[in-house]
Amino acid sequence: MTPHPQRRRRAEDRREQIIDEALKTFADNGYRNASIAEIAERCGLSQPGLLHYFPNKAALLSAVLDYRDRLDYERLGFNQPFHGKEALLRLAQLVEHNMHVPGLVRLFTVLTSEAVTADHPAHEWALNRYRTVQTYLADALDAGKADGSVRAEIDSPTVARQVMAMMDGLQLQWLVDPETVDMATLFRAYIDELIAYLS
């Protein structure tokens, strides 16, 4: 029997609320220190009530990471092919946007730091995310080489890793000292210099 549309909408709204509160809790406390009890309390639910929507903390983490990735992929345009500097400029736009969503940036930084251990539930997510972004950017640089906008001798995978390291390093510095670190301006200056070098 199909659930009534209004009841289904309420269930979807509740799932979104749980994901939102879990995101904040994981960002504040990390995955290991966050508890289902705290997330349930933030949502005005009992623990069994929350577990009706997500069977365990790992499933909830997976939903939070899927949500975060979906937002980034939509902003970054992973579904569109970009060549050379277009992809780099898109990353600069993403970093600028990230200054308006510190909770998501904090979540990413905390979870990727925790996920260096192979037994962490987010380890595979972190590994796949880095590989996906590196491949996306390296492919864009290779496309730039093909159309002549990027120098042929550039090592695309190495440049892609360097760009990701700059993004992550600036994000960390910005989270620690947001009053003096202008993440967007610094990253855009780096990208402009990199484009000049690659051209």
pLDDT digits (tens, 9 = 90+) for 100-140: 888 888 888 888 888 898 898 888 888 988 998 899 899 99
Percent of the chain clearing pLDDT 70 (strictly above)? 95
pLDDT confidence of 79, banded at 50, 70, 90?
Answer: low
Residue 31: its pLDDT value, please?
84
pLDDT confidence of 158, banded at 50, 70, 90?
Answer: very high
Whether residue 36 contacts residue 18, with contact meaning beta carbons closer than 8 Å, is answered with no
Q: Assess whether pLDDT exceeds 90 at residue 26.
A: no
5-198 has which CATH code? 1.10.357.10
66: closest CA among 135, 125, 3?
A: 125
User: Up-side HSE of residue 89: CA atoms within 13 Å toward CB?
Assistant: 7
Instruction: Report yes or no on whether pTM surpasses 0.75.
Output: yes
- The structure tokens listed for 165 are 């390291």
Mean pLDDT on 15-19: 90
28: closest CA among 104, 126, 139, 133?
A: 104
Q: Assess whether pLDDT exceeds 60 at residue 1.
A: no
Angle at 104 between CA 31 and CA 169, to 5 degrees: 90
pLDDT confidence of 141, banded at 50, 70, 90?
Answer: very high
pLDDT confidence of 182, banded at 50, 70, 90?
Answer: very high
pLDDT confidence of 3, banded at 50, 70, 90?
Answer: low
Burial 88-110 (b: 16+ CB within 10 A, else e): bebbbebbeebbeeeebbbbbbb
The domain segmentation of the chain, as residue ranges, is 5-198
Residue 153: its pLDDT value, please?
96
* Rounded distance between C-alpha atoms, residue 140 and residue 77, angstroms: 12
